[in-house]
Amino acid sequence: MPSSLAPAPEAPPPVQRIRLRYRKLGPARFIGTREIGSVFLRAARRARLPLAFSHGHHPMPRLSFSPAIPLGFSSDDEYVDLDLTAATPPETVAARLAAELPEGLEPAGAAEVSRAAISIDAGIAAFVYEVDLAALDRPPSPDAVAAALERFARASSFPLRKHTRAGERTVDARRFVRTLALSAPQRLSLELAVGPEGTVKPGAFLGELFAIPPEEVPTLRVHKVATRFRAAAV
């Protein structure tokens, strides 16, 4: 059989899944959703990690990320699952990637998880954010912040337009907000629940709550403090 017609060798099967927790800070805040997979793939190759690939004509790396944060957000608690074709200590995976990832992408821990475990997405219960209102060009006054928080606390519902692949719809943001409080002057602590229908974007919610002009919403400084998992997913 001519070599050009010979079947391509099958990729080695995955034998291990490593769940890596990492931070996304500084210049890495501007690495987009479509780029992050390529960045990790290049780092894994340079680190000589035995990364598993899917089968077929266009093999894809077996990397699975937690839901993407908006461009410009920073985070202390992002996740990626890496399927490997050879057993490797989790601490070795984290150390090798730390040496190859660009500035601002910082491994913060790693653990082996069952390959039969539910996905990262399916296990997430909530996200916790810190928001710096003072970063806005025209930040709301302390009195305006206090009044908005009081209005929200008293409201039985809070309609919010949500953009989805199926189009725009209105959701009740009140159902998603677990915690909303001042953590310091002009700084908010915000916890948003994640359910089968997803969640709401912190920028969209805060823009509506404080009547922030749409063009200013991207200048909000939002930092993800924690990703909360359901007990069964930990």
Largest Cα separation within the chain, whole Å, is: 79
Burial of residue 83 (number of CB atoms within 10 Å: 0-12, 13-18, 19+): buried
Residue 192 is given by DSSP the state E
Q: How far apart are CA 100 and CA 86, in angstroms?
A: 20
Direct distance between the N- and C-terminal alpha carbons of the chain, in angstroms, rounded to an integer:
50
Q: Which of 153, 156, 154 is nearest to 180 (CA)?
A: 153
Q: How far apart are CA 124 and CA 70, in angstroms?
A: 17
Alpha carbon 83 to its chain's center: 19
User: What pLDDT does residue 9 have?
Assistant: 60
User: What pLDDT does residue 232 have?
Assistant: 57
Query: Structural domain boundaries of the chain?
Result: 16-117, 123-233
Q: How far apart are CA 130 and CA 76, in angstroms?
A: 11
Alpha carbon 39 to its chain's center: 15
The predicted model scores a pTM of 0.89
Q: Which of 223, 220, 27 is nearest to 106 (CA)?
A: 27
DSSP SS3 for 20: strand
Which one-letter amino acid corresponds to residue 59?
A: P
Q: How far apart are CA 66 and CA 181, in angstroms?
A: 26
128 forms bridges with which residues in the sheet? 191, 226
User: What pLDDT does residue 115 have?
Assistant: 92
Which residues, in sequence order, are CB contacts of 106 under 8 Å at separation 6+?
22, 23, 25, 98
User: What pLDDT does residue 196 have?
Assistant: 87
DSSP SS3 for 82: strand
* CATH class of the domain defined by 16-117: alpha beta
Task: Encode the chain (234 residues) as per-residue pLDDT tens digits.
Answer: 454 555 456 778 999 999 999 999 999 999 998 899 999 999 999 999 999 998 877 888 999 999 999 999 999 999 999 999 999 999 999 999 999 999 999 999 999 999 999 999 999 999 999 999 999 999 999 999 999 999 999 999 999 998 777 778 899 999 999 999 999 999 999 999 998 888 999 999 999 999 999 999 999 999 999 999 997 555
User: What pLDDT does residue 162 have?
Assistant: 85
